[in-house]
């Protein structure tokens, strides 16, 4: 499909495993876990999950008040990650206001924490007289994208795809397509989310949250493992700067990877239960878009969240696509499920694997579930130099998405 080649030149990360591209890669290679017991979750009636992968060590007050007042926590994460990405890319400041630079960043919802605080006050007397001016800007669906554009002076296209766990994979794909089509020269893209008990509850009520490892936080989640019992919710933001390759090269930017394929599809078999055929079709379309075959893949970064059904379906789809020839791992065991940020954080991590020449194994995958078998599961880190990587994200609502990237440093 590509009319213009599109490359990644900057990465920003706010994650349960540290802030910045390099700290994230170091922690993943070392097999660290960002999952913690959150004692306050005991206070939420009916919630069985006590685990989360929280972001720590962020002081929102490092952001000037007038920029921060319209930001909830997720926008704080997205803004800080965007700054990191622009700095890493050494992106010219004057290009931000050229109209040729855009933002495609989404979240699952507007800020649930802000929403909760507002309604807790509102329900006291049903009065709006205490409603402050920043409320709407934190609640709106495009809060992260708008806050990034406003705070950084970006005047091109601003979009906020929202597709739950597929959000940032879609955001990267849409940014890639817009640059490839010549509509923008560069786009900050990705996703952000903030942890709230309601997020954990959403999965818990569907019996899809991990509840058996509350006393052993680092043992959950367990993608593809026989003893997996569900998702652990996380939070954070991953932001990539995509640029038109010719312009990036002309300005002497360091190219981190090239985006070569994207597909997103709707699985109408169920709004909640993933379908193997639909997953397979999405990956096949992405390969078609990239103009490559599955045999050319060097690594697949799976969505695999550690749920009973989702992992089985994805494993079967990958098996049918690539058999047992392509190494596969999921990073949810390290990072939890960072929701709308998971695609962009995990794709960034995959780029890190390209640069380090080492694939990160699936944390907590001790005994592969037979129903997830037939794959080249990574249970230990593997030192190889991947050239082409396929990244999946599948979301509630029947949303599938796949991005394919290629290394440019080991031609």
Partner 1 sequence: MTEQEVIELIDSSLAEEFELDRADMVPEANIYEDLGLDSLDTVDMVIVLEGAFNFKIREEEAIRAIRTLADIHRFVLEKVAEHG
Closest to partner 1 by CB, 64 vs 252, is: 64
Separation of alpha carbons 261 and 277, rounded Å: 19
What are residue 225's phi and psi, to 5 degrees?
Answer: -85, 150
- Our answer to whether residue 303 is catalytic in this structure is yes
CB of 176 closer than 8 Å to CB of 156: no
Separation of alpha carbons 344 and 94, rounded Å: 26
CB of 170 closer than 8 Å to CB of 163: yes
Residue 36 pairs in a beta bridge with 52
Joined together, the tokens standing for residue 240 give 């990539």
Joined together, the tokens standing for residue 234 give 């996380």
Active-site residue identified among 19, 142, 165, 233: 165
CB of 333 closer than 8 Å to CB of 221: yes
**Minimum CB distance to partner 1, residue 103 (Å):** 21
Residue that has been written with the tokens 């082409």 in this structure: 388
**Minimum CB distance to partner 1, residue 29 (Å):** 40
- Our answer to whether residue 337 is catalytic in this structure is yes
DSSP strands (E only) in 306-352: 327-329
Residue 217 neighbours by CB under 8 Å, 6+ apart: 33, 35, 36, 37, 51
**Minimum CB distance to partner 1, residue 136 (Å):** 11
**Minimum CB distance to partner 1, residue 61 (Å):** 8
Cα–Cα separations (whole angstroms), residue 43 to 39, 89, 183: 8, 44, 49
**Minimum CB distance to partner 1, residue 137 (Å):** 9
Enumerate binding residues for partner 1 (CB under 8 A): 61, 65-66, 69, 129-134
Cα-Cα-Cα-Cα dihedral of 221, 225, 227, 229, to 10°? Answer: 40
Cα atoms found within 13 Å of the Cα of residue 264, Cβ hemisphere only: 23
Separation of alpha carbons 201 and 215, rounded Å: 18
Active-site residue identified among 19, 142, 303, 334: 303
Closest to partner 1 by CB, 63 vs 165, is: 63
Closest to partner 1 by CB, 65 vs 383, is: 65
Percentages of the chain per state (helix, strand, coil), in multiples of 5 = 40, 20, 40
DSSP 210: -
CA angle 72, 9, 62 (to 5 degrees): 30
- Our answer to whether residue 196 is catalytic in this structure is no
- Classified as helix, coil or strand, 239 is strand
**Minimum CB distance to partner 1, residue 12 (Å):** 25
Closest to partner 1 by CB, 128 vs 250, is: 128
Closest to partner 1 by CB, 130 vs 410, is: 130
- As annotated, the active-site residues are 165, 303, 337
């Amino acid at each position: 499909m590509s009319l213009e080649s599109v490359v990644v030149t900057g990465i920003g990360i706010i994650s349960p495993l540290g802030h910045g591209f390099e700290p994230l890669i170091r922690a993943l290679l070392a097999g660290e876990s960002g999952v913690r017991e959150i004692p306050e979750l005991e206070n939420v009636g009916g919630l069985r999950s006590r685990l989360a992968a929280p972001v720590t060590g962020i002081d929102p007050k490092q952001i000037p008040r007038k920029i921060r007042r319209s930001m909830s926590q997720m926008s704080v994460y997205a803004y800080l990650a965007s700054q990191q990405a622009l700095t890493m890319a050494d992106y010219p400041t004057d290009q931000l206001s050229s109209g040729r630079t855009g933002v495609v960043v989404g979240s699952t919802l507007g800020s649930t924490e802000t929403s909760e605080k507002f309604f807790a006050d509102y329900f006291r007397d049903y009065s709006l007289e205490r409603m402050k001016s920043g409320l709407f800007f934190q609640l709106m669906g495009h809060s992260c994208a708008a806050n990034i554009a406003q705070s950084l002076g970006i005047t091109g296209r601003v979009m906020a795809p929202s597709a739950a766990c597929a959000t940032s994979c879609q955001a990267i794909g849409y940014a890639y397509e817009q640059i490839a089509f010549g509509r923008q020269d560069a786009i900050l893209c990705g996703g952000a989310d903030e942890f709230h008990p309601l997020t954990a509850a959403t999965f818990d009520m569907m019996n899809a949250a991990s509840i058996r490892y509350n006393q052993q936080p680092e043992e959950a989640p367990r993608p593809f493992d026989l003893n997996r019992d569900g998702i652990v919710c996380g939070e954070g933001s991953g932001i990539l700067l995509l640029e038109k390759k010719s312009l990036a090269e002309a300005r002497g930017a360091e190219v981190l990877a090239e985006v070569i394929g994207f597909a997103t599809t709707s699985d109408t078999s169920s709004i909640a239960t993933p379908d193997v055929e639909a997953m397979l079709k999405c990956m096949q379309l992405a390969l078609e878009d990239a103009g490559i075959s599955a045999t050319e893949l060097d690594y697949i970064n799976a969505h695999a969240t550690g749920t009973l059904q989702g992992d089985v379906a994805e494993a079967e789809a990958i098996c049918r696509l690539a058999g047992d020839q392509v190494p596969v791992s999921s990073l949810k065991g390290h990072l939890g499920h960072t929701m709308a940020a998971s695609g962009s954080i995990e794709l960034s991590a995959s780029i890190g694997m390209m640069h380090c020449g080492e694939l990160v194994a699936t944390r907590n995958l001790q005994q592969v579930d037979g129903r997830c078998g037939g794959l080249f599961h990574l249970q230990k880190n593997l030192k190889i130099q991947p050239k082409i990587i396929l990244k999946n994200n599948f979301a509630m609502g029947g949303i599938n998405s796949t991005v394919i990237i290629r290394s440019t440093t080991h031609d």
